């Protein structure tokens, strides 16, 4: 369905009025621009004319204001990761960069009580077998660094930035990494057993053969992540977003998937024995060869 100019949106129950120009011009490669470009079929409520999007509408006004005037809002620190997840969902790449810039600036201005800064980390990784076990690195920007093989076990990594970092074979055993950002990071063969990653952003991350056994992954975003052969036994994936993720050959034995979004995910040859899938969204998921013996559907 094509739109002349005005657009009526229902975002998780919150209603918004805007225009096609607003949704398509500032970020033409975004999901919203694609939806209202006229290239795709968009379903409207036949009585109200509203287009429904199944997302929390809490921050959508900030999304619209960004599309209108290019301004990143001034928010409380805890709200930036929430807005970042929404920007990631709508594929608003410039807004994502703007949010990270605001978060980094705030971290520079505030005393976070961290034991090391980015410069210290860069000096450390020039040596082999770097161990940062139990260190407080909350809020630190470690994006784009080569941190492969670093041992972060038991560290405090809340709201820490690892976007596009190389963390292959790094150890995160029992870390507290709540709301941390691992967007597009390389996490192949990483050790995350027992880690708290509640609300973390791991969209586009490479987690091949990573060990996430017993990890808290509640409210995490794994959109488009590579989780092939990952170990997710007994992990808590409640409300996690795994839309489009590749979980081929992953072991999800005993994992909790209540309200998890697995739309379009690749679950070929995944181990799902005795997993409760009754409240899991598997629309369009590929389950060829998956072990579903005893799974509750």
Q: Distance (Å, rounded) from C-alpha 106 to C-alpha 261?
A: 32
Instruction: Give percent above pLDDT 70 in the chain.
Output: 94
Of 38-42, 142-146, 147-151, 164-168, give the lowest mean pLDDT range. Answer: 38-42
Backbone angles phi, psi at 196, to 5 degrees: -100, 105
Backbone angles phi, psi at 9, to 5 degrees: -115, 140
Written as six digits, the tokens of 155 are 């560290």
Written as six digits, the tokens of 205 are 């991350």
* pLDDT, tens digit (0-9, with 9 covering 90-100), for 126-155: 766 788 889 999 988 899 999 999 999 999
Written as six digits, the tokens of 235 are 């992990």
Q: Distance (Å, rounded) from C-alpha 98 to C-alpha 83?
A: 11
Question: Do β-strands 51-53 and 6-11 pair in parallel, antiparallel, or remain unpaired?
Answer: parallel
Written as six digits, the tokens of 62 are 């900030």
- pTM of model > 0.85: no
Cα 281 versus chain centre, distance: 17
Q: Distance (Å, rounded) from C-alpha 128 to C-alpha 146?
A: 12
Of 105-109, 188-192, 233-237, give the lowest mean pLDDT range. Answer: 105-109
Q: Distance (Å, rounded) from C-alpha 267 to C-alpha 30?
A: 26
Written as six digits, the tokens of 216 are 């808290």
* pLDDT, tens digit (0-9, with 9 covering 90-100), for 246-285: 999 999 999 999 999 999 999 999 999 989 999 999 999 9
Neighbour order of strands in the sheet with 6-11:
14-19, 6-11, 51-53
pLDDT band per the 50, 70, 90 thresholds, residue 115? low
Q: What's residue 114's pLDDT? A: 62
* pLDDT, tens digit (0-9, with 9 covering 90-100), for 44-69: 898 998 999 999 999 999 999 999 99
Q: Distance (Å, rounded) from C-alpha 297 to C-alpha 281?
A: 11
Instruction: Using alpha carbons, list the distances in angstroms from residue 81 to 33, 50, 54, 65, 145.
Output: 23, 28, 19, 18, 21
Residue owning tokens 């691992």: 182
């Amino acid at each position: 369905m094509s739109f002349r100019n005005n657009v009526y949106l229902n975002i998780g129950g919150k209603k918004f009025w805007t225009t096609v120009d607003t949704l398509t011009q500032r970020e033409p490669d975004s999901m919203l621009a694609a939806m209202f470009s006229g290239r795709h079929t968009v379903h409207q409520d036949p009585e109200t004319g509203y287009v429904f999007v199944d997302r929390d509408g809490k921050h959508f006004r900030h999304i619209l204001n960004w599309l209108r005037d290019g301004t990143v809002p001034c928010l409380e620190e805890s709200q930036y990761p929430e807005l970042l997840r929404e920007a990631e969902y709508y594929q608003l790449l410039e807004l994502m960069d703007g949010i990270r810039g605001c978060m980094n600036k705030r971290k520079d201005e505030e005393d976070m009580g961290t034991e090391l800064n980015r410069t210290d980390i860069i000096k450390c990784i020039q040596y082999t077998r770097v161990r940062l076990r139990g260190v407080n690195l909350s809020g630190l920007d470690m994006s784009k660094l080569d941190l492969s093989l670093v041992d972060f076990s038991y560290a405090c990594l809340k709201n820490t930035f690892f976007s596009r970092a190389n963390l292959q074979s790094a150890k995160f055993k029992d870390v507290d990494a709540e709301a941390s950002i691992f967007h597009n990071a390389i996490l192949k063969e990483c050790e995350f057993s027992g880690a708290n990653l509640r609300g973390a952003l791991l969209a586009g991350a490479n987690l091949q053969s990573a060990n996430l056994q017993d990890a808290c992954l509640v409210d995490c975003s794994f959109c488009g992540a590579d989780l092939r052969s990952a170990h997710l036994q007994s992990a808590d994936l409640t409300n996690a977003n795994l839309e489009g993720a590749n979980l081929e050959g992953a072991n999800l034995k005993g994992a909790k998937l209540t309200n998890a979004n697995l739309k379009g995910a690749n679950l070929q040859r995944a181990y799902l024995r005795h997993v409760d899938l009754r409240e899991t969204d598997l629309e369009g998921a590929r389950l060829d060869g998956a072990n579903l013996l005893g799974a509750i559907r």
